[in-house]
Amino acid sequence: MAKLLLVAVVFGIVAIPIVTSRDPSAARGLRKALALTAAFNAAYYLALRFVLPRLY
Amino acid sequence: MPAGSSQTPSRSPFRLAAGVFLAVQALVAVTLLAMPSTWHVEAVLLAEPHLRMPALVNPDRGRAQGGEAPGWAAADLVLSRRNLLSIIQETDLLSRWEKDRGFVLRAVDRLRSARGPIPMLDDRRDQLVEILRKRLYVKALPEGTVAIGIDWPSARTAFVLVEAAQQKFLETRRAREVQPVDEVIAILERRAAESGDAVTAARAELVREEALLPPALRGEARRTRPVLRTASPTAADPLAAALASARADLDRLETSRAARRKDAEARLSTLRTVYSDRHPSVLAAQDAFASWDEPDPQEGALRRRIRDLETGHLAGDTSASEDEAAEEAMATPAEAEDTQRPLVAAGLRGGVQRDPRVPGARPRIANGIDGRERTDADGVLVRSGSSRAGPMDEVPLPAIRDRRADPPGLVAARGRLHIVALEQERILRRIEAARIEADVVRAAFAYRYMIVVPAEVPVEPVRPRPLVVVLGGILCGVVLGAFTFLATSRAPSPGTGPVTVSRTRRLGVAAITGGVAVSTVLLLANAANPLIAVAPTLLAAAAWWLVTAPLRQSTLVLLFSMLVLDAPGDSSGRWQSPWHLLGHLLNSNLNLTLPVPALRFAGVDAIFALLAAVAVGRRMAGKGVDTDGSWPAPAPLVGAVFVSLGAMAVLVATGMAQGGDLGQVLWQCHVPAMLLAMVLLFLAALRGPRDLAPLARTVVAAALVKACLAVWVRVTVALPVESLPTATSHADSMLFASSACLLVVMAVEAPGRRTFGRLLLLSPILIAGMVANNRRLVWVEIVAALVVVYFMLPRSRAKRTIQRGLVLAAPVLLLYMVAGWNSGSRVFAPVAKVRSVVDSKSDRSTEERDVENYNLVKNLQDNPFLGMGFGREYVQYTRGDDISHLFAQWRFIPHNSLLGLLAFGGVLGFTTLFAFLTVGLYLAARAYRATADPLLRSACLTVVSVAVVFLIQAYGDMAIVSWHGVFLLAPALAAAGKLASARGAWRQRARRPSDQGSPVPSLHPLPSSASVPSPSTRP
């Protein structure tokens, strides 16, 4: 599980732009992609901080 | 017509070409006349360690370990400033140098001296020292020879200099080998003098003590005085000799134990820097070190023996009868040997005893502790049978007189005299041995160096070789004449009337022709290898092509070269391709290959700068070579690239503000910055969908070449996997995986005989390459990329079929995994691969990656927002293996590039650094949904696959600093941008004025591929 959590950063970088590209508006979709990527990275950090130690 | 240039009627191209040819021949003639000749002289000495003579002289001496090799530091010794100054003085080089310089250089010197102050003598001498350092060489070759040679403008002076350097080398070596022994002799002689003083003082003290005796006893006391009268301490006092021997043994033992304890401590210290304190190796080393603090039984036994001998010695002094001792002391060694054969029970207490049962029995020193008494053949009582009895137990001892009647002061004085006399004798012996050693070293030196090839005055110069220069000049003239003819006979834009050539073009042709002619002729005249003279022509041709060819061609050639040519360290350094020199020039700093220290940048940097200058120049000049028919680059992608570059600059500043190392910053940021810059270059180079087919072909061709190379290396280089872990390189995993995904995606999106045939034909070659390259990460990359592609595919019957198949196969796959998890069978090899990726305990490498990941996460927790910045190494909270001997920057460039960037950049830095990738992926996914053309859709999916492959490689193996990552991801993202523009997935707000005349004016989403330039159209 710890490995899955660590490698999740790869899927976050890839999946978010692909998912947000479905937005009808190109500009809005791009803004979403960037905002969600930033949010994902923050959540990823929190997971590394609080969840990862429990998984070791 | 380019701004700033004018077109004028030119002379006949043929005349120009002929003029160039003649000019080159004239240059050759002038060079041959003016160029001073260079003469080469070399002498070779055979240098070998001569161990036989010392061994014959002193067979007991052990063979010297770790001594200097005869050729050791030969260059440093000969080329030292002091040595060179001595050579300059002895050969009168200052006056010779003036005569030896060619007339051109002498004329230059005269001009200089006329215009400025005449250099002082010391300055000229310093200049000559530097010249000698450059031209004189000393090479210690592995076969044991030392070559001393020089290239000099005079044959006679070259000979004299080599002779002098050779003589200096021999003198220096002789001094190094003989002087230390002489120094030792001098030290010993000083110690001997001191020891002599001590003997005199002890003797005086003894005389004083004797003076205190009653007159009747003085004569006897004097008779019993120990006299140094034999060369052997054993004969003088065997007990003392045994004591000295035991003490020497103890000294040796203590020295040895101290040295081994120090070794153990050093090893423990080394291991502690590498491993944590709980590591088994550290614990074992700790135990080993602690064991040296425990008492050594052998040392204890020796100490007991010395104590016993000391006691026995004193007892012997006081128990033996005065008469016998005096008799023994005054006797000669031979008499002592013949008349007295007592025994010493070494290491035993009790002292000298006489067997009362045998009349006239001689005294013995025997065991006084627990020994059993016995009487030997001479009727001597001996106590033996001690647990410490051994070969030393019975040593002949001269009879010792009972001196118990002597006053204590006299006994002590006698003992002191005895000790200092022994010490003096020991030193005298060592002096004698050292003198013999010095004689042997002097004698052996004559055989240690043999002149194999003596220096001789050369009969012909090595440079220039007139025939080579003349023939090379003719060839160069022909090539440059042809180039001039072609370059001036083709006008940039065809016109009517006489052929016109722009002034800029004429100047360019003249500059290239002149530069190539001069450099070629100079190289022909001066270079050791005349083939080097081809280099300027080849370089000029390459530069000419890079400047004139469309960027879409030059960038693809650069891409192919970077993917195919091997970098330094590829194939674990066990194999090099025939074109490795080109690869080294491109991949590593040029000064590592070329003798120009200022070239501290890689060839790819220089080519990028040239291509970027070409792109900017063409835009500024309004040339449409690259922009005609080109789709504009999406603004978000360009903006994201600049945002990422800005984030990198901020992180560099953050790191430097906290004491970062600028040199390490270059290691960390050079390739990532080039990745971003290459995205911009490929955006400028690729016009749109029609350039994607050549791009795909280039990448697949490079992958096939590298796959074949990997197989070739694995088959021909007969080394086990441990010695040759990768057949080509780690980064080739990205190339293989990207190409494999491209072939699969093409077959899925555009099913047909052609795409399936390509997949079936080429994928086995790629798989063979992947197997030969032996990287497990490549399989992870392919699987991950295809999983992402699968989820991007629209719902279809095929997808439903695959889903059903996966659901049905899941239990079987699960069983297979469970069954093979701990199996070593080949049947379960795929399971072993999976386990090696996910199970930390599967191997050492995976375990170390886990340690690194843990440390990086802890570093991120220290600086979660903006990270620690570039230029600083991450902190090791848990100590992993130190791999600095393999990769010095291992704590600046971790294997896990993603977690590394998180640690260095924090959440904010990481997000902005990867903004370009987010935007590129977004545009690729959006273009995928905006088009129905199967080839364009497969291009979009390939872009996503390449991004996934890059990220997996970055997660596992430092893709962020890999040139393969740059030349796969940058064109992929540029292609995504062009596809998004072409398919209307991203609308541009305004067109550039230069694109107004573009043949692709439509900016709206295209419903089908009908009006889109076909990817298969050749550029």
Q: What is the pLDDT of residues B102-123, one digit of tens each?
A: 777 777 777 777 766 656 667 7
| Cβ–Cβ contact A39 with B under 8 A | no
Chain-chain contact of B919 with A34 (C-beta, under 8 angstroms): yes
User: Is the CB of residue A36 less than 8 Å away from at least one CB of chain B?
Assistant: no
Single-letter amino acid, residue B740:
A
The band of B260, judged by pLDDT with boundaries at 50, 70 and 90, is: confident
Q: Using 50, 70 and 90 to split pLDDT, how confident is the model at B230?
A: very low
Rounded to a whole number of angstroms, the distance from the CA of B865 to the nearest CA of chain A is 9
Question: What is the average pLDDT value for chain B, to the nearest integer?
Answer: 78
Residue A41 vs residue B487, higher pLDDT = A41
pLDDT cut 70: percent of chain B above it: 78
Does this complex have an ipTM over 0.95? Answer: yes
Report pLDDT for B467.
85
Contact residues on chain A for B955, CB-CB shorter than 8 A: 7, 9-10
Q: Identify which of B398, B404, B364 has the alpha carbon closest to the alpha carbon of residue B384.
A: B364
Half-sphere exposure of B652 (CA within 13 A, CB side): 17
How large is the average pLDDT for residues B288-299? Answer: 81
CB count within 10 Å of CB B176 equals 13
CA-CA distances (angstroms) from residue A10 to A51, B50, B676, B721, B807? 18, 64, 19, 30, 25
What residues of A are in contact with residue B902 (Cβ under 8 Å)? 9, 41, 45
Buried/exposed B296-322: b ≥16 CB within 10 Å, e otherwise: eeeeeebbebbebbeebbebbbbbbbb
- Across the interface, whether the CB atoms of B899 and A6 are under 8 A apart is answered yes
Query: Which phi and psi angles does B449 have, rounded to 5°?
Result: -120, 125
B999: pLDDT strictly greater than 50: no
Higher-scoring residue by pLDDT: B315, B657: B657
CB contact set of A27 (below 8 Å; sequence gap of 6+): none
Nearest to A30 among B854, B911, B919 (CB): B919
- Among residues B476, B468, B467, the alpha carbon closest in space to that of B21 is found at B476
Given this model, what pLDDT does residue B116 score?
Answer: 64
How is chain B split into domains, by residue range? 7-19+463-635, 36-212+411-462, 219-406, 637-878+889-987
Contact state of A18 with B911 under an 8 Å Cβ cutoff:
no
pLDDT of residue B49: 65
Comparing CB atoms, the residue among A6, A22, A41 nearest residue B911 is A41
Q: What is the pLDDT of residues B916-952, one digit of tens each?
A: 999 999 999 999 999 889 999 999 999 999 999 999 9
Q: How many CB pairs under 8 A join A and B?
A: 84
What pLDDT sits at residue B248?
Answer: 81
User: Of B57, B67, B717, B699, which Cα lies nearest the Cα of B437?
Assistant: B57
What is the pLDDT confidence band of residue B735, given thresholds at 50, 70 and 90? very high
Contact B857 A33 (CB under 8 A): no
The pLDDT of residue B762 is above 90? yes
DSSP character at residue B868: S
Q: Between A18, A29, A34, which is nearest B915 by CB?
A: A34
* Strand-pair category, B145-152 with B381-384: unpaired
Cα within 13 Å of Cα(B341), Cβ side: 5
Q: Which of B911, B944, B979, B986 to mutate to test the interface with A (most CBs of A within 10 A)?
A: B911
What dihedral angle (degrees, nearest 10) is formed by the CA atoms of B277, B278, B284, B288? 40
Q: How far apart are the first and last CA of chain A?
A: 9
- Three-class SS of residue B5? coil
**CB–CB of A26 and B898 under 8 A?**
no
* A44 has pLDDT over 90: yes
Q: What is the mean pLDDT of residues B552-559?
A: 93
The percent of residues above 90 in pLDDT, for chain B, comes to 24
Phi, psi angle pair for B342, to nearest 5°: -75, 175
* pLDDT single digits (tens) B119-139: 666 778 888 898 888 889 988
Do the Cβ atoms of A17 and B921 come within 8 Å?
yes
CB of B925 less than 8 A from some CB of A: yes
CA distance B950 to chain A (A): 10
B945: closest CA among B740, B776, B759? B740
Beta bridge partners of B136: B150
- What pTM was computed for the model? 0.62
Classify burial at B732, counting beta carbons within 10 Å of its beta carbon; exposed 0-12, middle 13-18, buried 19 or more. buried
Once rounded to an integer, what is the mean pLDDT over residues B553-578? 89
pLDDT above 50 (res B987) = yes
Asked whether the beta carbons of B874 and B891 are under 8 A apart, the reply is: yes
| Rounded Cα–Cα distance for residues B383 and B373 (Å) | 4
Query: What is the rounded distance in angstroms from the CA atom of residue B652 to the CA atom of residue B654?
Result: 5
Domain range B36-212+411-462, CATH class: alpha beta
Report the pLDDT averaged over residues B682-696. Answer: 92
Question: For B780-785, what is the mean pLDDT?
Answer: 93
pLDDT value of residue B117: 62
- Give the per-residue pLDDT at B950: 95
E runs forming strands in B199-353? 343-344, 352-353
B352: pLDDT strictly greater than 60: no
Q: Report the pLDDT value the prediction gives residue B294, as an integer from 0 to 100.
A: 80
Task: Kindly determine whether residue B952 and residue A18, on different chains, have CB atoms separated by under 8 Å.
Answer: no
pLDDT for residue B673 is more than 90: yes
Numbers of helices and strands, H then E, in chain A = 3, 0
Q: Is B921 on the interface with A (CB under 8 A)?
A: yes
What pLDDT band is residue B377 in, cutting at 50, 70 and 90?
Answer: very low
Nearest Cα neighbor of B967 from B666, B576, B674 is B674
Q: Which residues of A touch B951 (CB under 8 A)?
A: 10, 13-14
Cβ pair B918:A33 closer than 8 A? yes
